[in-house]
Amino acid sequence: MDKEQLAKMIAEKIDAAMQAGDHPKKFFITANGRGVTDGGELYNAVLADAISVMKVALIDIFQELSAAAQTPAPKAAAPAKAQEKLTKSSARK
């Protein structure tokens, strides 16, 4: 799977997840003490930026994982030599 296909798949999954649930909105208290929620431009810009950063990170992670899965595993090294027991006479030497 190349980078463009992976990016398309991740974007589709994130878009589906965003539409499936109600993402949080900006909440603030006005001067008269009333609470207001708003999906204003600044909030939407920050949300879009965070999602785009997450998409790039996911694409890179999945590419590295798929590359690692395609490379053959290195051959196992020879087993290490067993340590000798430490006895009183060998400790004195």
The answer on pLDDT for 22 being more than 80 is no
The pTM for the full model equals 0.52
Classify residue 30 by burial, with Cβ atoms within 10 Å: 0-12, 13-18, 19+: exposed
DSSP H helix total and E strand total for the chain: 3, 2
Q: Compute the distance between CA of residue 43 and CA of residue 23 in angstroms, rounded to an integer.
A: 11
pLDDT, tens only, 40-67: 676 677 778 888 888 888 888 888 888 8
- pLDDT value of position 72: 73
